[in-house]
């Protein structure tokens, strides 16, 4: 399983009719964590008129949230969320802080301002592909650990080994390769245990 996210946090600023818009893109893995990031921005910008936000998390983008934070309904949070969706990203949050400049922008102007700030912050954040992995572990006789280690490295894997009365071997395997790796280890006489999910990042 492979999905796209941003490579790093990013921040951009625009001024539109004297209103200042600060767009922030951030990596995030839960909506609760994102809510705390929004609260941090409120504390950092106590004089801002609005701190609007949107986020999508999960391998399949299964959870999302957006907030207009007092702007007219549908003019801020929803277009920011659409900016994430259009770029087919997940595990991403965007926050746009607005300092009001005294001139009303109208619904269309607000939508363009918030969408633009979110899109520009996402563009500045770069891209990575996240490849989902599984942790595979096995207990190996000390006499056999070199052979097993070499077999895994030949596949491009990087096992970690802890030594005791036997060797405890751990390796992170792409989900798509899990069955093949288990079959190979089984053919070498090594029973395996499949543990926690994880991911590795590949620059886009």
pTM: 0.81
Q: pLDDT by residue (tens digit) across 147-170? A: 998 999 998 999 999 998 888 999
* SS3 assignment for the chain: CEEEECCCCEEEEEEECCEEEEEEEEECCCHHHHHHHHHHHHHHCCCCCEEEEEEEECCCCCEEEEECCCCCCCCCHHHHHHHHHHCCCCCEEEEEEEECCCCCCHHHHHHHHHHHHHHHHHHHCCCEEEEEEEEEEEEECHHHHHHHHHHHHHCCCCCEEEECCCEEEEEEEEHHHHHHHHHHHHHCCCCCEEEEEEEEEEEC
Q: What is the pLDDT of residue 203?
A: 80
Q: pLDDT by residue (tens digit) across 36-74? A: 999 999 999 999 999 999 999 998 899 999 999 999 999
Q: What is the pLDDT of residue 68?
A: 97
């Amino acid at each position: 399983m492979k999905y796209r996210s941003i490579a790093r946090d990013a921040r951009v600023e625009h001024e539109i009719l004297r209103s200042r818009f600060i767009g922030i893109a951030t990596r995030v893995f839960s909506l609760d964590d994102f809510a705390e990031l929004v609260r941090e921005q409120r504390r950092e910008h106590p004089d801002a008129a609005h701190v609007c936000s949107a986020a999508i998390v999960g391998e399949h983008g299964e959870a999302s949230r957006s907030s207009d934070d007092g702007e007219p309904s549908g003019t801020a949070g929803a277009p920011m969320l659409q900016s994430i969706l259009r770029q087919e990203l997940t595990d991403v949050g965007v926050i746009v802080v607005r300092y009001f400049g005294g001139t009303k922008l109208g619904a269309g102007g607000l939508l363009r301002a918030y969408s633009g700030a979110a899109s520009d912050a996402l563009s500045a954040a770069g891209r990575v592909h996240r490849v989902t992995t599984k942790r595979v572990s096995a207990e190996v006789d000390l006499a056999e650990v070199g052979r097993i280690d070499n077999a895994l490295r030949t596949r491009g894997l990087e096992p970690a080994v802890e030594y005791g009365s036997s060797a405890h071997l751990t390796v992170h395997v792409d989900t798509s390769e899990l069955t093949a790796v288990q079959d190979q280890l089984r053919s070498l006489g090594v029973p395996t245990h499949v543990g926690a999910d994880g991911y590795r990042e590949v620059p886009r």
